[in-house]
Amino acid sequence: MRGPHNIWRLIRTLATMERTGAIGVVLAALDAPPRIRLVARVLGWPFAWVGLKGDETLPPATRALTALGPAYIKFGQILSTRPDVVGPEMALQLQYLQDKLPPFPVDVAKAMVEAELNRPVSEIFSEFSEPVAAASIAQVHRARLADTGVQVAVKVLRPGIERSFRTDIDAFYLAARIIEMLSPASRRLRPTDVITHFEGVVNGELDLRLESAAAGEFAANTENDVGFQVPKPIWNLSGRQVMTLGWAEGLSLADNAALDAAGHNREVLGTRVLQLFLSHALRDGFFHADMHQGNLKVAANGDIIAYDFGIMGRLDEYTRRVYAEILFGFIRRDYRRVAEVHFEAGYVPADRDIDEFARALRVVGEPIFGMDATYISMAKLLAYLFEVTERFGMETRTELILLQRTMVVVEGVARSLDPRINIWQVARPIVEDYIKENVGPKAILRDLTRTARVVGRFGPRLPRLVEDLLIRQGQTVIVVPPRRRLHPALWMLAGSGMTALGVWLGALL
């Protein structure tokens, strides 16, 4: 489906932004340069008549994004958590996108449930409500199990959502290629790879069986986390287009007035959201990658309840250590060490100046320490970070996209609860605990133990592996006489001397 015909989709996007009046509002909120605003208006005005009209009762930006479809709605959901980037008024308007989108009829939802589970809805549920929340990909119904009377949430995909997302993603691919063609400097950001990564994420979100698996794993990992709850999936009532899990009763994390009225401490909640995210990312390497306010509630006892597990992130142990060392370096204001970690991990080309990079990082970190968060412009900070990555030739790391994006979203959620929160102070205890356990002598001993176990499993094959390695390197290897009882490794060691010994020691290390 990718091809020039997607140009129409891109033209219609710009035209819709112009027709709904969103283009001027969005660029103003993002504080875009006057030149960019002029170009956007000049390109958008002639095509405004082909733009989508949208719901005229909604504010311009929300109206445009809902008209354009689910992929654009996802983008708006992310921006809704960043009042420091788009402004508090725009962020408040975009919160509509989190769980208040127009639902599809309950009869359609019931028909999809029956088709997926091969049973009548009345046989499974004694109650099945109208939609209680409607998002970009699915909507949720409150139901009661007929056999136990337990309340559950039933999530049903929107009809035709896969085709809709495919259309948007194809257009994004074309946009990425156009950007790469017109701006060679943008290639270091690997826009096409970024779209490929998000395509994989979206495909996973469109299969509710995978979300059920993610919910089960996440619930098991966080079972002992104080102040945190995860509803568990009900496997026999879940499938590709339908997922059933425990009901989460609580107040929306986006409703500050209701939280205050209920007596919840928003400063504590803001701190907990950040620390839980860091703990899951560093400790487990498996984290909720869509933690906006629409996916978080607060229970009556103050626990944070997470749901909607369509987008989850994973980090291997090495990446977690690199990430923790970078955070720890910022917390300690050791910018030289932060720079060294970037070079050691290959995030910055080796031919760049490490001292200059450390100075650039200092500009990022210093304004945050000791300053009221209400005076920190995250928009300006992000703009400077982009300049730094361009200056030092840093390429986009697709394996870190979800982590970086979620960190931005979670920090936005925390700041909406507590505008004065400082992410470095809140992160310090979590990162320090991880560093103590995973970087240093204790971690080295644990790594060596794991390595010994792996080598032990391959023990019977090691002699043959060494022999094959030596043959490939052109070494002379003594053939083991058929009647000898000595282990082949001893014959190899005797025949090839220190070469084989070196190979053995290397394998063990």
Q: Just list the catalytic residues.
A: 290
Q: How many Cβ atoms sit within 10 Å of the Cβ of residue 168? A: 21
Strand-by-strand arrangement of the 304-306 sheet: 228-229, 304-306, 296-298, 251-252
What is the C-alpha to C-alpha distance for residues 65 and 468, in angstroms, rounded to an integer? 60
190 touches 395 (CB < 8 A): yes
Name the phi and psi angles at 498, rounded to 5: -70, -20
Query: Is 156 in contact with 239 (CB distance < 8 Å)?
Result: no
H-helix segments, 224-377: 256-261, 266-279, 317-331, 335-344, 354-365
Contact 354, 334 (CB under 8 A): no
Q: Are 51 and 18 in contact (CB under 8 A)?
A: yes
User: In whole angstroms, what is the distance from residue 195 CA to residue 71 CA?
Assistant: 12
355, amino acid identity: D
Which token pair is 439? 């970087």
For 375, other C-beta atoms within 10 Å of its C-beta total 8
C-alpha distances (whole Å) from 380 to each of 17, 391, 396 are 24, 17, 20
User: Encoding tokens for residue 41?
Assistant: 């208006």
Joined tokens for residue 84: 């420091």
The residue length of the chain stands at: 509
Token digits of residue 495: 């025949």
At position 170, the amino acid (one-letter code) is D
